[in-house]
Amino acid sequence: MKIYDIAFYVAGFFILGVLLASFKLSFSIILAAAALMAVLFLFTGFFRKSMKSFWLAGLGLIIIIGAFYYFRWDAYQIKNVNIVFDKEIHFQGLVMRNPERGNQQKLTVALQPPYLGNILVKLQPYPSFDYGDLINFKGAIKRPEQVSYANYLAKEGIFGTIAFPQTELIAKNQGWVIKSFLFKLKEKIVLNFQKVLPVEKSAFLAGITLGERQEFSKEFKEAMSKSGTTHLVALSGYNITIIVLAMFALFNYFLSRRLTFILTVLAIFGFVLMAGAEASVVRAAIMGFIALLASQVSRLYSVRNAIVLAAFFMVLINPKVLYFDTGFQLSFVALLGIIYLMPAIQKFFKVNPQPRFLSLKENFLTTLSAQLAVAPILIINFSNFSLISLLANILILSAIPLTMSLGFILGFLGFLSFYFSLVFAFFLNLFLSYEVFIIKLFGAFNVLRFGEMSVPAVFLYYALLVFFIWYNSYYKRWSIALDQKVADIYRDLLK
């Protein structure tokens, strides 16, 4: 077995072990399942005389390592928590992430000795706090009541919440200097948007370029949800790919190949930090890094390996994202849909769109593939999936790359000249007006909507998708080859 295949199966089996542990299965059950799978591979190897099966029998034991890693990581996380619950206390905390703002502030705070652990603090909008602020608090920390919410917070390393405690700022700029700089840069770019664009348009532009969603009105959020366009402001792989390609092209025009690679990687890393390191951003950044690295060392880029390795590194950092992070699931499943389902759909309908700017056919197939792949996840987690969203995405996605590019230019023009950026914003506003109009138009429809899906239905749905992919991507190819072989045999017999 080749080294890249070994890497693929090691990462895949490790992820499978983490997934089984995430289901709260006992370690003995996982051990027995891994052993049974190894025996089946050994039996297949002896029966078919396949070295690959022998390799898989050994590598299948990596499942046990993945499960063990999850249990140890979980135990270590809980061990390093010292929080007094349901009792009014004085404590100090350091703001560890860029605060969520809006009708209220949400701070992720790391408790200072003698306490230990992270909590979520909800406050009034003012006075506002920033990343790196050291704050005095007085109040009672509560455990999350709902199990699903507790699991979601635990995935973020948060084990308690407190609402509207007394606060007193002790010191500022106590966090990582680079991270603090990036957050401030992000806020200034958003402010540059707000100076020259209407509120709704500047909020949408901040969303698609920087992942900001704090300034959206309730009505606009609902319109995005109903039109199926919320993913546009979630900094998916689509957005990151545009950014990576633009950075690489820019640096490569002026600099050497090696220096272009280094600067592009550093720029990706900085952007991930600035955007809050959401699952979709990290996944796209890791895959972008692997693609750039493959190009740099003149190696073939395997999308299959890139996907699994991206998931592996994210799970290694935080194994809870695999089961408890909906964004992680949507990001990877949508990507798998585009890579594997889209070619099958193309073959089934006998279409072969050529990648080009403003290609409605390509956007339709990409959107259809991603939406079909994530439909059960959207229905289960949000009770909201609409077929009408396909058309909305097709009409918007063609304009997003140009809008993002112009948006970044506008953001940095704001540091140079207000009046020049004002003129530039006039042209950008034309694209934003079109996109916002489409979102509101399709957000007004309430047809072809699905709200429930049972677990058996989910398994059946994905089984049908897998069969569809296999039939159109592999079975047809095998049938054509077999028909050709039979035809050759008959031709030889007739000679």
Q: Quick one: pLDDT at residue 242?
A: 66
C-alpha 284/C-alpha 442 separation (Å) is 28
The count of other CB atoms within 10 Å of the CB of residue 427 is 10
Nearest Cα neighbor of 382 from 447, 311, 466, 449 is 449
d(CA 258, CA 296): 7
Percent pLDDT > 90 in the chain is: 25
pLDDT tier, 240 (very low <50, low <70, confident <90, very high otherwise): low
Q: Are 80 and 118 spatial neighbours (Cβ–Cβ below 8 Å)?
A: no
* pLDDT greater than 90 at residue 464: yes
**In the numeric block, which tokens belong to residue 207?**
């969303």
Give the H/E segment covering residue 119.
Answer: strand 118-123
What counts of helices (H) and strands (E) characterise the chain? 21, 8
Reported residue count of the chain is 495
381-430 confidence digits (pLDDT tens): 766 677 777 788 778 877 887 888 888 889 888 898 888 899 899 989 99
- In the chain, the amino acid numbered 250 is L
In this structure, are residues 230 and 213 in contact, taking their beta carbons and an 8 Å threshold?
no
Phi, psi of 176, rounded to the nearest 5 degrees: -70, 130
Return d(Cα 385, Cα 375) in angstroms, integer.
7
Following DSSP, what letter does each residue of 187-253 receive, concatenated?
Answer: HHHHHHHHHHS-HHHHHHHHHHHH---TT--HHHHHHHHHHT-GGGGTT-HHHHHHHHHHHHHHHHH
CB 100 within 8 A of CB 141: no
Please write the tens of the pLDDT for every residue from 90-109. 999 999 988 888 778 899 99
pLDDT (0 to 100) of residue 73: 92
Residues 335, 342: contact at Cβ < 8 Å? no
Task: State the first-to-last Cα distance of the chain, in angstroms, to the nearest integer.
Answer: 41
Residue 158 has φ and ψ, to the nearest 5°, of: -110, 130
Domain coordinates of the chain in residue numbers? 3-79, 88-175, 182-453
Distance, CA of 185 to CA of 290 (rounded, Å): 27
d(CA 232, CA 210): 11
Please tell me the distance from the alpha carbon of residue 84 to that of residue 75, in angstroms, as a whole number. Answer: 19
What is the rounded CA–CA span in Å between residue 152 and residue 162? 16
| 382: Cα within 13 Å, side-chain hemisphere | 17
d(CA 107, CA 129): 8
* pLDDT > 60? residue 482: no
Question: Under CATH, which number does the domain 88-175 receive?
Answer: 2.40.50
The DSSP secondary-structure symbol of 438 reads H
DSSP 128: -
| Kind of pairing between the strands at 88-95 and 134-140 | antiparallel
pLDDT of the residue at 490: 40
Residue 104 DSSP class: S
Residue with tokens 């890579």: 339
Q: What pLDDT band is residue 220 in, cutting at 50, 70 and 90?
A: confident
Q: Given a cut of 60, is residue 339 above it in pLDDT?
A: yes
pLDDT value at 355 more than 60: no
233 vs 191, residue with greater confidence: 191
Q: Are strands 158-163 and 118-123 parallel, antiparallel or unpaired?
A: parallel
- Decide: residue 179, CB within 10 A, 0-12 exposed, 13-18 middle, 19+ buried: middle
